[in-house]
Amino acid sequence: MNPESVVVADAELRAELAAYAQRQPGHAALSAEFSTLLDDPENPFLRERLAGHFTGSAWLVSADGQRVLLTHHRKLDRWLQLGGHADGDRDLARVALKEAEEESGLSGLVLEDGELFDIDKHWIPERKDVPGHWHYDARYVVRALGSEQFALSEESLALAWRDIRDVANAAIETPDGDDSLPRMAKRWLAR
């Protein structure tokens, strides 16, 4: 990517983060932290930046908006939204859509509106030869307009469509206290 394209892409992400902070004032400080990461001389869109890097995730909803597709993540052994590393791509909405397609095997997926739905900073524990590090996760709404028959990828132990109301009401306890699935479900239901 040429330097001008990087400046434009980063400016677009900054604008997304600023708009998100306006809609979600409780995440304003975290949004500012995401924006600051863009100024780091070490590329924060590459997983090799072990101090922390950007990831993109999909809040993948059914056509009727009543269910969300979740993955039982193989490496983390937790139920999560679909998503993954940017691997150099500075368009995190595109990353979220690509990861949703790859991890679900679904076709007919569309990015709902292109605006940030949620952001989250979470710790990824050490695994084999990769030290523990931070993920700065940008989350976008993706809608399944075609068949809901998913295909399991090597990333997942299982995939399941879950009623969003059940996700919102679940007391999902994780070792690190992550409340992001219920938070996103409640945000979705409040739309």
Token reading at 97? 């859509």
Nearest residue to 179 via CA among 162, 167, 166, 191: 167
Residues ≥6 apart with Cβ < 8 Å to 74: 154, 155, 156, 157
Which residue type sits at 133?
H
Rounded Cα–Cα distance for residues 79 and 152 (Å):
14
The pLDDT of residue 177:
52
Give the number of other Cβ atoms within 10 Å of residue 166's Cβ.
11
Residue type present at position 67? R
Tokens 């990824």 appear where? 124
Cα Rg of the chain, angstroms: 16
| Predicted local confidence at residue 173, as pLDDT | 46
Count how many residues are written for the chain.
191
Architecture of the domain made up of 43-189: Alpha-Beta Complex (3.90)
The whole-number mean pLDDT for each consecutive block of 10 residues of the chain, a chain of 191 residues, reads: 80 96 97 96 95 97 97 88 96 97 95 94 89 96 95 89 92 58 96 91
pLDDT at 54: 98
- In one letter, which amino acid is 185? A
Q: What pLDDT does residue 171 have?
A: 54
Global pTM? 0.93
Give the C-alpha distances (Å, rounded to integers) separating 120 from 1, 57, 108, 110, 127: 26, 10, 27, 22, 21
